[in-house]
Amino acid sequence: MDRLRNGGLNPYIAGGLTGVLGVLSVWIAGKFIGASTSFARGAHGILNLFSAEHASGLQYFEKYFFKAGDWQLFFLIGIIAGALVSALLSRSFRWQAVPDMWRARFGASIGKRAVVAILGGAIAVFGARMAGGCPSGHGLSGIMQLSVSGFIALIMFFVGGIIVAHLIYAGGERKLTPPAGSETPGGEQ
Amino acid sequence: MTILYGLVTGFIFGILLQQGRVIRYDKQVGLLRLKDFTIIKFMFSAVLIGMIGIYLLLGLGLIELSVKTTVLGMVIIGGLIFGIGWALLGYCPGTQLGALGEGRWDAIWGIIGMLIGGMIFAEVYTPLKNSVGTWGDFGKITLPAVIGISPWIVIVILLVLGVLLFWWLERRGL
C-alpha cells in the first residue's frame, strides 16, 4: 500500500535496513550516525576564513573544529550522492524551489521560503547543538543505545515541532490541495 | 579509510532515506501536522532493529556505547528549540542533504541557516554551559541502567509497544 501511495520502498523495510546500517557502521567503523555536529564544525571552518583569531577564542570550537577528513562530513556528502542516485534511478528526482505543501499555504515565492528556511535552519542547529544532537544523533543513535538523553530529546523535538507546525498551518491551506495520495502531482510516474 | 566508511555509510543511508520517502518537506511537516506517519514508521523500525543489534554486539564485547550526556536543561530546552526550527525549515540536519539530492533545492537555505546557527551557538556556548548546562546533569545514562534492569527487558517492552503502534497506525490507515 505504501509502495502504491508513495512510489517508494515500504517505510518499515527502509527503516529496518537503516537500523542494520546504523549497527554495521558502529561495528565496522566505530561510528554512530549523526549530522548536526558537522554544521558546528562547518561554522568553525567558515568563521576561521574571516577571523581566525575570533574563531580560536571560542570555547565551543576547541572541541568542534573544522576537520577536512571527518567521518561525519563524508557521511553527509554520501547522503546527497545516495539520494541523488536513488532519485534518478527511481525517476523521483524533481528540481523544486518550494515544497508543494508550503506553496499551497504560503504561495510560490522563493524569497519567502528562503527567509523562513534560513531562520528555521539556524534555530534548529542552535537547538540541536544545545541538546547534543538531532533526530539522527539523538533519535536514531541515541535511542538505539537506550540513552535517556535520546528519548527526552526526541520527545522534545516532536513537542516543539508539532506546536509550531500547527501554528504556522493554522487555518489550513489557502488553495486547493492535491488529494492525499498524489503528493507530488506530475512529479512521479 | 575513515572517509571511505563515512561516504559509503552516507550513500546507503541516502538511498534508504530517499526510497523510504522520508526526506521531503511534505513528509516532515506532514508528520508534525499529524497527517502523515511515514517517518514514524521508518524511524521506529530503524531504532527497534538497531537496539537489538547494538545490544547484541555490546554483549559480545564487539562494540562500545557512545552515550550522550543527559543534562535536563540542555536536552529539554535545546530539544524544544530544535523542534521549532524543524517545523519552520521542514527538514532536519541529515535529511535536508537527502532532499537536496532529490532536487528539492530549498534545502540549500537550510544548510546556510544551519551554518549560521552553528556560529551563533558557538558565540553563546560558554555562558549557556555555565547556566542551563548545570541544570539536572545526570551524566551518560541509559534507560536500563536508570531503572536497574536488563537492557533486554527494555528492548522487549519497546518492541511490543512499537509493534502495537505500527498495528494501530495501519488499522487507522495512517
The whole-angstrom distance between A182's CA and the closest CA on chain B is 12
Least CB–CB distance from A144: residue in B12, B47, B81: B47
Specify if A168 maps to a domain.
no
Distance CA A14, CA A25 (A): 16
Cell numbers for B36, please give them: 502523515
Specify if A2 maps to a domain.
yes
The whole-angstrom distance between A21's CA and the closest CA on chain B is 7
Tell me if B41 and A15 make a contact (CB, 8 A cut-off): yes
User: Which of chain A's residues have a Cβ under 8 Å away from the Cβ of B92?
Assistant: 35, 124, 134-136
Specify if A72 maps to a domain.
yes
- Residue with grid cell 533526530, as numbered in its chain: A135
Q: Which of A3-12, A18-27, A137-146 has the lowest mean pLDDT?
A: A3-12
Convert the pLDDT of each residue in B115-167 to its tens digit: 999 999 999 999 999 999 999 999 999 999 999 999 999 999 999 999 999 99
Judge contact between B102 and A108, C-beta under 8 A: no
- Residue with grid cell 529539554, as numbered in its chain: B76
Q: What is the pLDDT of residue A6?
A: 57
Tell me if B16 and A14 make a contact (CB, 8 A cut-off): yes
Nearest CA in chain B to A144: B51
Specify if A184 maps to a domain.
no
Q: What is the pLDDT of residue A3?
A: 44
Q: What is the pLDDT of residue A99?
A: 98
Q: What is the pTM of this model?
A: 0.93
The whole-angstrom distance between A9's CA and the closest CA on chain B is 5
Give the list of residues 6+ apart from residue A61 with CB closer than 8 angstroms, or none: A40, A44, A47, A55, B122
Specify if A100 maps to a domain.
no
Specify if A84 maps to a domain.
yes
Q: Is the pLDDT of residue A185 over 70?
A: no
Cell numbers for A42, please give them: 562547518
- pLDDT category of residue A189 using cuts at 50, 70 and 90: very low
Question: A147 φ, ψ to 5°?
Answer: -70, 135
Q: What is the pLDDT of residue A184?
A: 47
Domain coverage including residue A46 = 1-94
Tell me if B117 and A100 make a contact (CB, 8 A cut-off): no
Distance CA A174, CA A155 (A): 30
Specify if A132 maps to a domain.
no
Counting one residue from chain A and one from chain B, the pairs whose CB atoms sit within 8 A come to 534
Convert the pLDDT of each residue in B37-77 to its tens digit: 999 999 999 999 999 999 999 999 999 999 999 999 999 99
Q: What is the 3-state secondary structure (H, E, C) of A62-90?
A: HHCCCCCCCHHHHHHHHHHHHHHHHHHHC
How much is the average pLDDT of B168-172? 96
Q: What is the pLDDT of residue A172?
A: 73
Q: What is the pLDDT of residue A171?
A: 78
Least CB–CB distance from B2: residue in A18, A69, A83: A69
Specify if A156 maps to a domain.
no
Which of A46, A54, A130 to mutate to probe the B interface, most B CBs <10 Å?
Answer: A130
Higher per-residue pLDDT: A8 or A36: A36
Q: What is the pLDDT of residue A8?
A: 86
Q: Taking each helix axis as running N to C, give the angle between helix A71-89 and helix B2-19, from 0 to 180 degrees, rounded to the nearest 10.
A: 40
Distance CA A27, CA B56 (A): 11
Domain count, chain A: 1
Least CB–CB distance from A39: residue in B64, B72, B115: B115
